[in-house]
Amino acid sequence: MILRILSLNAWGGRLHQALIEYVTAADPDVLCLQEVLRAPGTHSGWSVYRDGDVELPQRFNLFTEISTALPAHDGFFCPTSRGELFDGDSAIVAEFGLATFVRKSHSLIAEGLEFVHGRFSADGWGEHPRPRNAHCIRLFSHEHASTVTIAHMHGLRDPAGKDDTTAREEQAAALVKLIERVWPGDENLVVCGDFNVLPDSATFAILARLGLSDLVTGGGLVDTRTSYYLKQGRFADYMLVTPGVKVAKFDVVEAPEVSDHRALLLDIG
């Protein structure tokens, strides 16, 4: 039997229909999403995120929409901030953060959630670099009669670029600390997400202390962005595993394009 893990920066659902269709068809056991919005008590639909001169379309209840598309999964929403989106001149209060979906046939036996940069911003999106968190889960797979620990993170975005900073090194150390709270150290570990760093980042040396190595750069891949991303520096997303993980398949998905990030798809045996 295969355990399928899918990691993706959802881009606020800007390619909404394609995103819903893809995650439904991929049917992962564990879906790790970054850049997800939730607006409790409101209907689903489009809104606009505004930051100075920047305006971006967003699905203000993407978490609920993904939950509806994956009825066989339990969803966990992990917010980093709460701010305003807009429908015309009307403000919609929404939360932004990570989402993790786990197939209900697997047993969640341990869990950890921590901020790896900053703290929860309750009355606005926050100053750049904005708050970031990580979510770590430990599953018992009845099909495999075994356990696996999976963590994902949305790394901080620095307007100055993706080079190493003290904040990014502290972020990596905080991620390790979170994982060590959940992971017993003697079983499979998978760590993924949009790290917002380059392949030579100190982040990977820090994660290597847990025995983790990256499948993206380790496979010679040079691009985790889609045609919707028009800038240089086309690394952002990573999938790391410990040596005991039996990789049946790993794919940086080129098509369909459902975000400005490519999906990372890992099947482990």
Q: What is the mean pLDDT of residues 92-107?
A: 98
The pLDDT of residue 222 is: 82
The chain-wide mean pLDDT, for the chain, equals 96
The pLDDT of residue 43 is: 83
* SS (HEC) of 129-183: CCCEEEEEEEEEECCCCEEEEEEEEECCCCCCCCCCCHHHHHHHHHHHHHHHHHC
Residue in 44, 135, 120, 42 with CA at minimum distance from that of residue 82: 120
The pLDDT of residue 198 is: 95
Give the Å distances, CA to CA, from 60 to 10, 40, 143, 176, 185.
12, 9, 36, 31, 38
Residue in 88, 94, 111 with CA at minimum distance from that of residue 13: 94
The pLDDT of residue 94 is: 97
pLDDT confidence tier of residue 225, bands split at 50, 70 and 90: very high
pTM of the entire predicted model: 0.97
Kindly tell me if the per-residue pLDDT of 10 is higher than 80. yes
Kindly tell me if the per-residue pLDDT of 238 is higher than 80. yes
The pLDDT of residue 169 is: 98
**DSSP 8-class letter at 15:** T
The pLDDT of residue 221 is: 85
pLDDT tens readout for residues 58-85: 999 999 999 999 999 999 999 999 999 9
Helix, strand, coil percent values for the chain (each to nearest 5): 20, 45, 40
Torsions phi, psi for 218 (to 5 deg): -65, -25
Of all residues in the chain, the percent with pLDDT exceeding 70 is 100
pLDDT tens readout for residues 204-222: 999 999 999 999 999 888 8
pLDDT tens readout for residues 14-35: 999 999 999 999 999 999 999 9
